[in-house]
Copies of this chain bind each other. A is one copy, B any other.
Amino acid sequence: MRISELSRHSGVPIPTIKYYLRDGLLPPGRATAANQADYDEGHLRRLRLIRALIGVRGLSVSATREVLAAVDERQDDLHLLLGTVLGALPADRDAADDDDAADAADDDANAAAPDLTDVEALTARMGWKVSSRTPAAQVVAETLETLRVLGVEFDWRSLLPYAELADRTAELDLDQLRDAGGPLQQAERAVLLAVLLEPALLALRRLAQEHHSAQRYGG
């Protein structure tokens, strides 16, 4: 199909498609004339994936490129693929949208690496065989450190019931991949669910908080 049809089928405007092509996120079509190329179903699928990663999750172009490369190269090793995808996503997904705030936050960015003892106690208690050097472990350690500095009574033992629920969530996640078809479909599904469900899971927690807070404290 031509670029105009690709645009119509995907809902992505032509200038955006051209930007993705120029940036290498979308592979070039098959040249059919000096200034014309032909695109196939693979392009359409890839375009929808890019749109989800950038448009919905707000990933950077470089993180998106890394995720797409992982899908292409590691579809036969789902464990490695998942690790790459989760590694490509910043573990703390926030970004200050104010320059001055970002400058102020930079003061903290150079702080010493957090103590991992508590995270290691937590993962040992959970029976999780994971490295404490991953960005995710770092985030947990930083959160506990922050709560301690702030004088909030909340330590790694307080996180245990949350970790139990996270454990069951991860089991659900992996269940989603069982009957996904071939390796490429399984890999694509892994990326979509790993990447796209994060905001939805936090949103579900907020909806549930809204409900229970009204039940307990509502007037």
Binding site for B on A (CB under 8 A): 11-13, 16, 19-20, 23, 45, 48-49, 51-52, 54-62, 64, 77-79, 82-83, 86, 91-98, 100-105, 107-108, 123, 126-131, 134-137, 139-140, 142-144, 146-147, 149-152, 154, 158-159, 161-163, 165-174, 176, 189, 192-194, 196-214, 216-219
Cross-interface CB contact of A136 among B60, B64, B193, B210, cutoff 8 Å? B210
- Complex CA gap A165/B168 in Å reads 8
Known: A136-B207, A136-B210, A174-B212. 19 other contacts (CB 8 A): A19-B104, A48-B150, A52-B150, A55-B105, A57-B92, A58-B101, A59-B101, A60-B98, A82-B210, A94-B199, A129-B214, A130-B210, A139-B203, A140-B204, A143-B197, A143-B200, A154-B193, A158-B176, A170-B212
B108 touches A51 (CB 8 A): yes
6 contacts between A and B (CB under 8 A): A51-B108, A77-B219, A139-B203, A143-B199, A146-B196, A152-B189
- Complex CA gap A95/B218 in Å reads 33
Cross-interface CB contact of A134 among B58, B83, B206, cutoff 8 Å? B206
